Amino acid sequence: MAHPLAKLQTIPASVASVADYEPLARERMSEQAWAYVAGGAADELTLHANGAAFQRLSLRTSVLGDLSQGSTRLDLFGHALTSPILLAPVAYQTLVHPEGELATALAASAMQTGMIVSTQASMSIESIAQRTKAPLWFQLYIQHDRDFTAALVRRAEAAGYRALVVTVDAPVGGSRNREQRAGFKLPAGVEAVNLRGMQPLSQAADGSRAELLLGGPLLASAPTWRDIAWLRELTSLPVLLKGIMTGEDAECAVDAGVDGIIVSNHGGRTLDTQPASIDVLPEIAQTVNGKVPLLLDGGIRRGSDVFKALALGANAVLIGRAYIYGLAAAGALGVSHVLRMLRAELEITMALTGCTTLQAIRADRIRR
């Protein structure tokens, strides 16, 4: 296995878009780490569909309008953000950079945007909070041990996190064949540090080892809508559900009293042959009808992609692999640069379509 190259200390002039970070990141990661970060489930059809769906959407321009007083700022759950681009939860970030989530938090602070910290972060909830002044949200996987889950929520509250993002689309992991072929396993020193002390779920109710999912202990302890109600009682923080891909589930989420919805197919990492996130966004936006904020996750690589998501009903977007490639190549500097490029491209797109504010971005700016 080739030794990873040193991280970049300055950004080469040849890096002009988010896509330019991908080869730089790959050169600096092991084959196994690359399989984990870049791969998806099964044949990776959904992984590739996320990006291709944006490319099928065209933009309608508008000329000679008044472009003064333009801004990408928005208020989301009382947080003033400089742009509608937030950092999605990504696990085990020390896998790609020694400073991991601490570097990402530093970039979020520098760019005044929000960061969602994974339950499976490789740095502690508290240490990440100490590193940034940016709004932090905590992404929660509801664990089989509900008391341990409640303790995680209390830790996040005490550390100053401002919302809970509950991932609901992965009660089991996807079949990630690329990882299997590469023989991926976490290297020594990389772990989900915030889950230390939780007893593993390794046996069936009768004490035997469970080999199958159906009827086994993992799915028996998987979260349900009752757990969302339990969380609502447990915390006063806003609760968002991440992984909603149908109008029916969006309606159930609103009925359950959640504060926001993140339209996401988990970056194509759980169930392959799902549609692209952007393709189901209009259905969910119509169902929700402005009752709660909508965020979109999956396939964002250009500022024009951000624009298209806002036009089709999102209030903001999350980026995942895009900033992880920047992190792998150049640490906090790379993450900041990715955010800066996307925001600049969004501003260009807004100007050339005649939209000076985020509220002006509507579906009539999309040509079908």
Encoded tokens for 41:
């489930």
Contact criterion met (CB below 8 Å) for 267 and 47: yes
Is 266 noted as a catalytic residue in this protein? yes
Q: What is the pLDDT of residue 220?
A: 82
From first to last of its 368 residues, the chain has per-residue pLDDT tens of: 445 788 999 999 999 999 999 999 999 999 999 999 999 999 999 999 999 999 999 999 999 999 998 999 999 999 899 999 999 999 999 999 999 999 999 999 999 999 999 999 999 999 999 989 999 999 999 999 999 999 999 999 999 999 999 999 998 889 999 999 999 999 999 999 999 999 887 654 445 445 666 767 878 888 999 999 999 999 999 999 999 999 999 999 999 999 999 999 999 999 999 999 999 999 999 999 999 999 999 999 999 999 999 999 999 999 999 999 999 999 999 999 999 999 999 999 999 999 999 999 999 999 97
Q: What is the pLDDT of residue 209?
A: 47
Among 79, 97, 266, 337, the one annotated catalytic: 266
Residue holding tokens 């159906």? 214
Q: What is the pLDDT of residue 147?
A: 95
Encoded tokens for 345:
């491209």
Give residue limits of the domains in the chain. 18-185+217-367
Nearest to 356, CA basis, from 80, 58, 73: 73
| Cα distances (angstroms) measured from residue 138 to each of 56, 115, 161, 357 | 33, 8, 6, 28
Residue 181 burial class via C-beta count within 10 angstroms: exposed 0-12, middle 13-18, buried 19 and up:
exposed
| Cα distances (angstroms) measured from residue 181 to each of 36, 39, 42, 111, 323 | 11, 11, 11, 37, 25
CA–CA distance, 328 with 350 (Å, rounded to integer): 30
Q: What class, spelled out in words, does domain 18-185+217-367 have in CATH?
A: alpha beta
Contact criterion met (CB below 8 Å) for 244 and 262: yes
Return the bridge partners of 81, or none: 74
Residue type, 96: V
- Look at the chain and count its residues: 368
Coil, strand or helix at 109: helix
Contact criterion met (CB below 8 Å) for 332 and 107: yes
Coil, strand or helix at 166: strand
Q: What is the pLDDT of residue 3?
A: 56
Backbone angles phi, psi at 86, to 5 degrees: -110, 160
